[in-house]
């Protein structure tokens, strides 16, 4: 049996009060529409159809790079005339098999939930099923009206009487329906209601009138109701995903001091015995090795941190590889395409970009290294700067080979190569290549003028 899913994402999402189309709002780093689509794909849905409308160009551009991978077909609903009209836009005529319909704002939906929807629909041998949950708080969901336990209709809040509003069972907006039933009923939906919209919910009464097998299936899992409609609900969904990611890692032996303030995206891997302090943010394709320690308020994205690495407080690390036993920070900034060698040390207020920093090398303080290859066992003194960006607006490379000692306050004007075992005296501006084993020195000779300070300073002034 073909499983199709139609995901409705054409609406404006007015309650989000945001210029971003609702379904593009991220939940723990991933737009909610992608979470919804992935949930369907992993459940084995072969035919995935997404209806877009409001903000369609932005939605398309976000999905474009992954559209093939997700195998999703995009349909445009020109005018947002209601949920039944949106379903019609998804090339209704070509549908086959069982069709799941759901909103694009269900970031917490799980693959298992989607499998369950199809399975219970098939088990009960229905023509149309709507999935419901019970909600006690005040809400805007459509109410499920039953008579003698049997589903009668779904009534939208705007059309509901005081009596109907008291009903706790609500429409999650998730349905499974046979393709031929949908093809027959959708054209019959009218827009004679408070919002002058074509309500998908009207197919319930239409199906009942035709003596089709219709039922409302009540689920215990309250999460499936919670589409995201406001920033509050988005924040709540985001918190749930972060909490569940921490929980998985805690269960695998990662030490997280305060899960409430530790933010880890789904794609991150952390080895057992690693320690994560409060305020740590791990994003994208990041992996943290066993027994590594990440101190408070570090931000790490798309980086590989090997075993036994220490990342000290306040460091910001992107697209960087750090080999084992290295230590970084506090307050280090490692920018894309940087590799830190085994046992190397990168200290406070050090910035690197596109650097290969060799094993056991050290850059302890206040340094900028960019577009540089730095060998093993190199010492980079405090205040060293690679001047990689030239007046011709091009970037040039600095090469420093093994065991070089770079004194403090050195500038290396690229392109320049410093051969192994050489020394650069502090305060030097290196503009020429330095041969192996040499001392490079470029300072103006110091002059001391005896007693000269008196001219400017009277002894009674002290240091004023």
Q: Is 170 in the site for ligand UD1 (CB under 6 A)?
A: yes
Contact residue for ligand UD1 among 132, 201, 286, 428 (CB under 6 A): 201
Residue ranges of E strands in 37-107: 47-52, 72-76, 98-103
Which residues, including other chains, have CB under 8 Å from residue 366's CB and lie 6 or more apart?
348, 349, 350, 382, 383
Question: Rounded to the nearest whole angstrom, what is the least distance from the CB of residue 429 to Ca ion in the complex?
Answer: 6
Q: Which is nearest to 116 in space by CA: 210, 12, 221?
A: 221
Task: Cite the active site residues.
Answer: 365
Query: Closest approach of Cβ 374 to Ca ion, in Å?
Result: 20
Torsion angle, CA of 229/234/235/236, rounded to 10 degrees? 80
* Binding partner of residue 201 among ligand UD1, Ca ion, none, CB cut-off 5 to 8 Å per kind: ligand UD1
118: exposed, middle or buried (Cβ count in 10 Å: 0-12, 13-18, 19+): buried
Residue 368 site contact among Ca ion, ligand UD1, none (CB < 5 to 8 Å, cut-off depends on kind): none
427 binds, among ligand UD1, Ca ion, none (CB under 5 to 8 A by kind): Ca ion
Closest to 329 measured CA to CA, from 311, 351, 354: 311
**DSSP-derived pairing of the beta strands 362-374 and 398-400:** parallel
Rounded to whole angstroms, the Cα distance separating 108 from 50 reads 18
3-state helix, strand, coil in the chain (%, to 5): 25, 30, 45
Q: Which of 24, 81, 287, 400 binds ligand UD1 (CB under 6 A)?
A: 81
The interface partner of residue 200, options being Ca ion, ligand UD1, none and the CB cut-off 5 to 8 Å by kind, is ligand UD1
Q: How far is CA 177 from CA 5, 47, 74, 96, 198, in A?
A: 10, 14, 20, 10, 18
Q: How many CB atoms lie within 10 A of CB 4?
A: 22
Among 3, 4, 11, 127, contact with ligand UD1 (rule: CB under 6 A): 11
Residue 113 in contact with ligand UD1, rule: CB under 6 A: no
Q: How far is the CB of 8 from ligand UD1 (least distance, A)?
A: 3
Say which entry of ligand UD1, Ca ion, none residue 80 contacts (CB below 5 to 8 A, set by partner kind): ligand UD1
Core vs surface per residue 295-318: b (16+ CB within 10 A) or e: bbbbbbbbbbbbebbbbbbbbbbb
Give which of ligand UD1, Ca ion, none residue 154 binds (C-beta under 5 to 8 Å, depending on kind): ligand UD1
Q: Is 31 in the site for ligand UD1 (CB under 6 A)?
A: no
**Applying CB under 6 A, which of residues 31, 173, 271, 370 lies at the interface with ligand UD1?**
173
Examine residue 338 and tell whether it contacts ligand UD1 (CB under 6 A): no
- Show the tokens assigned to 329: 């920070």
In the complex, least distance from residue 442 CB atom to Ca ion, rounded to whole angstroms: 8
- Under DSSP, is residue 149 helix (H, G, I), strand (E, B) or coil? coil
Binding stretches for Ca ion (CB under 5 A): 427
Query: Is there binding between residue 51 and ligand UD1 (CB under 6 A)?
Result: yes
C-alpha dist (Å) from residue 196 to 51, 85, 116, 128, 318: 20, 12, 33, 24, 50
Number of residues that bind ligand UD1 (CB under 6 A): 28
Closest CB to ligand UD1 belongs to which residue?
142
- Closest distance to Ca ion from the beta carbon of 58 (Å): 50
DSSP 173-236: EEEEEEHHHHHHHGGG----STT----GGGHHHHHHHTT--EEEEE-S-GGGG----SHHHHHH
Interaction pattern, residues 136-165, with ligand UD1; x per rule: CB under 6 A: -----xx-----------x-x---------
Smallest gap from Cβ 428 to Ca ion, in A, equals 7
Minimum CB–partner distance for residue 158 and ligand UD1 (Å): 9
The region of 24-32, 80-88, 236-244, 416-424 touching ligand UD1 under the rule CB under 6 A is 80-88
With CB cut-offs between 5 and 8 Å by kind, which of ligand UD1, Ca ion, none does residue 400 bind? none
User: Is residue 82 part of the contact set for ligand UD1 (CB under 6 A)?
Assistant: yes
Chain residues that interact with ligand UD1, rule: CB under 6 A:
8-11, 51, 53, 77, 80-83, 85-86, 103-105, 141-142, 154, 156, 170-173, 199-201, 227
């Amino acid at each position: 049996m073909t499983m199709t899913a139609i995901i409705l994402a054409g609406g404006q999402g007015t309650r989000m009060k945001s210029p971003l189309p609702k379904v593009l709002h991220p939940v723990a780093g991933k737009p909610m529409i992608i979470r919804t689509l992935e949930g369907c794909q992993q459940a084995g849905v072969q035919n995935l159809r997404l209806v877009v409308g409001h903000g369609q160009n932005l939605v398309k551009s976000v999905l474009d790079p992954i559209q093939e991978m997700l195998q999703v077909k995009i349909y445009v609903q020109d005018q947002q005339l209601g949920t039944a009209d949106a379903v019609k836009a998804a090339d209704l005529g070509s549908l086959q098999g069982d069709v799941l319909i759901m909103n694009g704002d269900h970031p917490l939906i799980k693959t298992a939930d989607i499998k369950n929807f199809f399975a219970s629909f098939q088990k009960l041998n229905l023509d149309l099923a709507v999935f419901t949950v019970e909600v006690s708080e005040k809400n805007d969901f459509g109410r499920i009206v039953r008579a003698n336990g049997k589903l009668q209709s779904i009534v939208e809040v705007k059309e509901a009487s005081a009596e109907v509003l008291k009903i706790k069972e609500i429409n999650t907006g998730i349905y499974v329906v046979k393709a031929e039933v949908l093809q027959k009923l959708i054209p019959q939906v009218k827009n004679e209601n408070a919002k002058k919209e074509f309500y998908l919910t009207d197919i319930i009464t239409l199906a009942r009138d035709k003596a089709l097998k219709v039922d409302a299936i009540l689920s215990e899992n309250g999460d499936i109701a919670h589409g995201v409609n406001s920033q509050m609900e988005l924040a709540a969904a985001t918190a749930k995903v972060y909490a569940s990611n921490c929980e998985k890692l805690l269960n695998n032996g990662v030490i997280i001091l305060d899960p409430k303030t530790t933010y880890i995206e789904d794609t991150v891997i952390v080895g057992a015995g690693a320690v994560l302090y409060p305020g740590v943010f791990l994003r994208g394709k990041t992996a943290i090795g066993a027994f590594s320690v990440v101190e408070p308020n570090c931000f790490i994205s798309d980086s590989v941190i090997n075993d036994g690495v220490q990342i000290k407080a306040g460091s910001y690390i992107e697209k960087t590889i750090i080999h084992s036993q290295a230590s970084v920070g506090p307050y280090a900034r490692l920018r894309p395409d940087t590799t830190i060698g085994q046992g190397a040390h990168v200290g406070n207020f050090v910035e690197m970009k596109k650097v290969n920093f060799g094993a056991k090398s050290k850059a302890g303080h206040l340094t900028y290294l960019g577009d540089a290859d730095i060998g093993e066992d190199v010492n980079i003194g405090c205040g060293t700067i690679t001047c990689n960006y030239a007046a011709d607006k091009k970037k040039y490379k600095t090469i420093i080979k093994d065991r070089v000692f770079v004194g403090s306050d050195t500038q290396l004007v690229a392109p320049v190569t410093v051969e192994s075992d050489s020394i650069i005296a502090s305060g030097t501006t290196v503009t020429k290549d330095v041969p192996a084993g040499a001392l490079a020195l470029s300072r103006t000779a110091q002059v001391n003028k005896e007693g000269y300070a008196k001219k400017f300073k009277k002894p009674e002034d002290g240091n004023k």
